[in-house]
Every structure is written in C-alpha cells, then in structure tokens.
Homo-oligomer: A and B are copies of this chain.
Amino acid sequence: MTKISIIVFSGTVDKLMPVGVLSSAAAALGYEVEIFATFWGLMAFRKDMAEKNMKISKEYEEMAEMMFKIMKEKNMPSWVDLIRQAKEIGNVKVYACAQTFDMFGMKKEDLIDIVDEVVGAGEYLERAKEADITLFI
C-alpha cells in the first residue's frame, strides 16, 4: 500500500491547506495517510483555534484578506473539513506530538476530534520510514 507521512509543523492556514488537499487526494487514491502534528502545527488543532485561525505566512500577510474572501466565496472546504473527509473515505491517522504536549502543557481534550493519538518522535520515525512520500510542512 502506498503511504504518505506528513509532519505538520506550521500552523498558518496557507500551509494547512496543502495538508488538507494532499490528505484528501491521497485518501481518494487509496493511500495510507499519516499526519504528525507538532509545535505551531499542533496548536492549530486546538478546539479554540482550529476553525477561527486566520494566520497566514508573514511574507504574504497582504494577501490574507483576498485569500480568505476567495475561500468564502468559492465555498471551499477548510483544511479541517478536508482532513475529516479524508478520514471518512480512507486510512488517515492524525498523531499529536508528545514532546509538544509536554512543552506547552497541552491535553488531548484540548484538541479537535480528528486527532487520533498522542505519540513521540520515535514512533513518528518508525511509521514514516515505511512511507513512500515524506514531507515537513
């Protein structure tokens, strides 16, 4: 089975969109998908952040208003919806980084329901080594 493994380090919406699009396209192709959310990327999965996140990469801040307007007008699914849809049709797992949990004192119940499990960097590695495509976003 083809497998893609993505470390989600960044928590800006522009970088989370490719995470959603790739997960959903990979699930549609029958790939196994593993998302390992860490640092700012993990914070984006917090219940109080996920849907109201309006951050985009600082270099493109002046494009933010236009981007969010397009996404609304075109009725585009959010990155959370894309991952949720991917999970409905395929083998998609979302892991939260244990080291980030410790560092920022986070709890699993702080995160949205698409997060499956809390695992350490070692387990990420043991899973990612089997993947055909590995990315750090």
Residues of A with Cβ closer than 8 Å to B? 2, 4-5, 7, 9-12, 14-15, 17-18, 21-22, 24-26, 28-29, 31, 38-40, 55, 57-60, 70-71, 74, 76, 99, 102-104, 120-122, 124-126, 128-129, 131-137
Contact = CB atoms under 8 A, between A and B. Distances in A.
Nearest to A105: B70
Contacts of A102: 74
Contacts of A74: 102-103
B133 A129 contact: yes
Contact of A9 (B4, B18, B70): B18
A124 to B, nearest CB: 8
Contacts of A132: 128-129
B59 A122 contact: no
24 contacts: A9-B15, A9-B18, A9-B137, A10-B59, A11-B60, A21-B99, A22-B125, A24-B121, A25-B120, A25-B122, A25-B124, A28-B122, A29-B122, A31-B125, A31-B129, A40-B57, A40-B59, A55-B59, A58-B59, A70-B103, A71-B103, A125-B133, A135-B136, A136-B136
